[in-house]
Amino acid sequence: MKKANLIIDRLNYISTIDDRIYGSFIEHLGRAVYNGIYEPDHPLANSKGFRTDVIEMVKKLQVPIIRYPGGNFVSGFRWEDSVGPKELRPVKLDLAWFTTETNQVGLQEFSEWLQEVDSDLMLAVNLGTRGADAARNLVEYCNHEGNSYWSDLRISHGRKQPYNVKTWCLGNEMDGPWQMGSKTPYEYGRLAKETAKMMKWVDDSIELVACGSSNTMMPTFAEWEAVVLEEAYDHVDYISLHNYWSKIGLDTQSYLAGGLIMDDFIQSVVAICDYVKAKKRSKKKINLSFDEWNVWYHTKESDKKIEHWLQAPPRVEDIFTFEDALLVGGLLISLLKHSDRVKIACLAQLVNVIAPIMTTIGGDAYMQTIYYPFYYTSVYGRGDAIRVNIEAPKFDCKEYTDVSMLDSVAVVDKEKGELTLFVLNRSVDEDLEVEIDLRTFEVERCIMNVALEGFEFGAVNSVQHPHDVVPTDKPVGICSDGYLKTVLNHASWNMLRFQLKEEI
């Protein structure tokens, strides 16, 4: 059996993790909202029509912030259609997904659902078919106390206290030709700047996310970020990154190395941000919001056949495999490794649409394979991120060379006096005997050892068999003189928690 070493040095501090790195996303797309979180006729629906079984599954994930209402949907969205008495709300055609939108769930209803799941709102404004005026009016509606037209309208709708939305997205994927009102980098940069100015004039406490490239393969990638930031740098706080991972055309070994794509994407955008900072002689740092990321490829072809103008048809309902869950676990490690600059991230999406949670209409909900690495990382990955020095065998595959079999990051929770280690063994056939050097942390004992391992790569969960692919609680190892020896099985995602002897 091959050997590897993981050295965890408390001096290899990366950053205090912003909890919003465990955010998610719900768009008016497919069954994410209707027959997802909201199903008034379901036997488990509460008085507001929200499914309580879904609420409990979301609460367990401890998602601190949820992006809404889109996504592509927001680029044609009139927010005024989604507020006020439900019986007066118009039914509209949504050109983003060619569906019919009833507006029966809007800002007020979604905010009430967020209270149920203990999450904050990350609200996107329409910079596709609309612009700065509608955006600043929405800030006034949401955040102004009263005695103005839009805030008084909110009060007349039964909401006296402001929503106090603090994190806002300035449009969505505005570089994409599929987007309503798509723009050139300069057009968008100017619009983002003027919109940001007006929004912050209404409420200077808000934070704003400018649109970055829709993915790394866009022809304007890098140029887009540079031009947009040269226009809007002084008025925004974050720039967004979006990327989805696909197995199509890849062998399993290359697929499991997909975290390298995320690492490179983040590093490239950080470099652009800092270039613009230097060019402007600015003291301000722009951080990143990776506000769309996930696996997405299983339904790409079948979704093209969906009839137009249906109301909430099943769409983008990818059923995730064990292999997908391993990749998601690795992507979470990448986000934490870059938590010094990635302050917000949104797993896209949360319910039914490329989601960790799936529902059946009138029936049960269940947790997909990707639920589990997200759950354990969200719950136990709070605190300070620590870079792990890795000495491990490497492999070559179809897409990459010299890839480390192991990827890893550690997190210290000073309040609880705990250290948590997340490790992915990317190898499809090599178990590794690993020695973990913990000496700088004075570890008392290992208190938890969880592994997602041992399944066929194509194994899935389903409503009939919801627990076919779940993590295993393994025997905890014995720490001796600051070391722990363990075996990390091939194709496995692992979490080890340690109790420290004293508070750091």
DSSP states of 143-197: H--SSSHHHHHHHHTT--S-----EEEE-S-TT-TTSTT---HHHHHHHHHHHHH
d(CA 8, CA 442): 11
CB 346 within 8 A of CB 18: no
CA distance 470 to 423: 17
Residue 378 CA to residue 177 CA, distance in Å, equals 34
DSSP H stretches of helix in 292-406? 322-337, 371-380
Distance separating alpha carbons of residues 382 and 414, to the nearest angstrom: 10
User: Which H or E run includes 267?
Assistant: helix 259-279
Residue 365 vs residues 186, 352, 362, 454: alpha-carbon distances, Å:
45, 10, 10, 25
Going by the DSSP 8-state scheme, the letter that residue 83 receives in this structure is S
Spatial contact of 55 and 365, defined as CB atoms under 8 Å apart: no
Task: Enumerate the H helices of 341-449 as residue ranges.
Answer: 371-380
Surface-to-core class of residue 228, CB atoms within 10 Å of its CB (0-12 exposed, 13-18 middle, 19+ buried): buried
Rounded distance between C-alpha atoms, residue 482 and residue 296, angstroms: 41
Amino acid (1-letter code) at residue 259: G
As annotated, the active-site residues are 173, 292
